[in-house]
Amino acid sequence: MTSTTTGSRTQEHIELTETYAAHNYHPLPVVLATGEGAWVTDVDGKRYLDCLAGYSALNFGHGHPRLLARMHEQIDRLTLTSRAFYNDQLGPFAKALAGLTGKDLILPMNSGAEAVETAIKVSRRWGYEVKGVEEAQASIIVMEGNFHGRTTTIVSFSNDSDATTGYAPYTPGFRMVPYGDIAAIRAALDDSTVAVLLEPIQGEGGVIIPPEGFLREVRALCDEHDVLMVADEIQSGLGRSGTTFACDHEGVVPDVYILGKALGGGLYPVSAIAADHRVLDVITPGSHGSTFGGNPLAAAIGAEVVAMLETGEFQARAVELGARLEAGLAPLIGNGFDAVRIRGLWCGIDITDGVATGRQVTEALLGLGVLAKEAHGQTVRLAPPLVASEEDIDTLVAAFVAVMGSFSG
């Protein structure tokens, strides 16, 4: 087991960061230096099981040999050209990702927030040019408890006060409804509606899984009213939930996929949206872009990620390990846990109020060599890399059993 005592190098790095970096995060007191697979090591040589995996950006673990090899190969050749020119990696990447999503086209960007902003812009322009919505009147229906990023426009439709306080005036054009409430979506629809934007599973909210059939009902409602269904699969997609996309659990295909995080293999920021011609053909030269979006290094990594997902190995692994995790954690429901939500290898645990807070649990887990993240006070989120072993999952379960025993005992 790992001690919580911070070494001299750890404290030195924490002080340096707190002195010179803005305080927009409140990290646990650990300073990571190296990583391999599902494990990381801090600057004082202590090892930890990484059960956050960069918010699912590290689905393939730290330093996956196949991804590193492809990255090193491309770094030695060409890293950036800008989209003022073609490069020999973007075309193959676009074809591969279009194939994975079943869509005609992709539009590559860098961060997840950029991809969400891209989807918003495309949805509005589609509404004006294709659906015929009156200019400047387009509305997008969004969900309570959402997390799509932290740009000014995106926080404009967040109901998280930490994300919104101090950033008004907010961008108009969004209507918020309760997550999972199809009747509320139906009531919010009108002729100005161009899209319904949702996470098939709300990650930042605590791995919130919608009611069975909700995604199918949204799909049917969007078809009925000529509205785009836009699925933010930045965290839920690319194998995390046990399928390539979380929408696959209900056999639903959205009009627009929003992808990021694991698309860069944990090595590089890569994001994209994917849609058919009827949607993405509204984008014309000069109407949207990015200096780094679609650069050859990003494209090479992204194409390798797609090739790895096409084997189905990682999706199956998420299912197997998720079942093992669920079996191990289930006995704690009623014994420190109020609920455990698992879809694939993605888990949200609600800690019983009065037993401990989510932060206290993650701090205690840190002392046992396990890295996790709290959400909204009483919830702990887990997203181990899909390359974790059965023994790693058992280590995680044992740590939770010990921690909850210490709080209740």
Give me the catalytic one of 147, 157, 245, 337: 147
Based on the residue annotation, tell me whether 147 is a catalytic residue of this protein.
yes
Q: Which residues contact 191 (CB under 8 A, 6 or more apart)?
A: 133
Which of the residues 232, 255, 350, 392 is marked catalytic? 232
Q: Are 169 and 203 contacting, i.e. CB atoms less than 8 angstroms apart?
A: no
Helix (H, G, I), strand (E, B) or coil at 382: strand
Q: Is 376 left (phi over 0), alpha (psi -120 to 50) or beta?
A: left
Instruction: Give the 3-state secondary structure percentages of the chain, helix then strand then coil, rounded to 5.
Output: 40, 20, 45
232 is catalytic: yes
Measured torsion, CA atoms of residues 158, 161, 162, 164, in degrees rounded to the nearest 10: 60
Catalytic-role residue among 46, 103, 261, 373: 261
**Residues forming a β-bridge with 340:** 349
What angle, 0 to 180 degrees and rounded to 10, lies between the N-to-C axes of helices 65-75 and 296-309? 160
The Cα 316–Cα 323 span in angstroms is 11
232 closest CA partner among 196, 270, 266: 196
Instruction: Say whether 261 is catalytic.
Output: yes
Bridge partners of residue 39, in order along the sequence: 36, 49
Choose among 372, 148, 136: nearest CA to 260.
148
d(CA 47, CA 27): 17
Task: Please provide residue 107's backbone torsions phi and psi, each rounded to the nearest 5 degrees.
Answer: -125, 110
The distance between the two most distant Cα atoms of the chain, rounded to a whole number of Å, is: 64
Q: Is 94 helix (H, G, I), strand (E, B) or coil?
A: helix
Residue 229 bridge partners (DSSP) = 196
Distance CA 20, CA 379 (A): 30
Question: Which of 370, 360, 351, 361 has the alpha carbon at shortest distance from 30?
Answer: 370
Other C-beta atoms within 10 Å of 132: how many? Answer: 9
β-pairing verdict for 228-232 and 193-198? parallel
Decide: 237 and 314 in contact? Cβ < 8 Å. no
- Find out whether the peptide bond into 169 is cis, omega within 30 degrees of 0: yes
The catalytic site residues sit at: 147, 232, 261
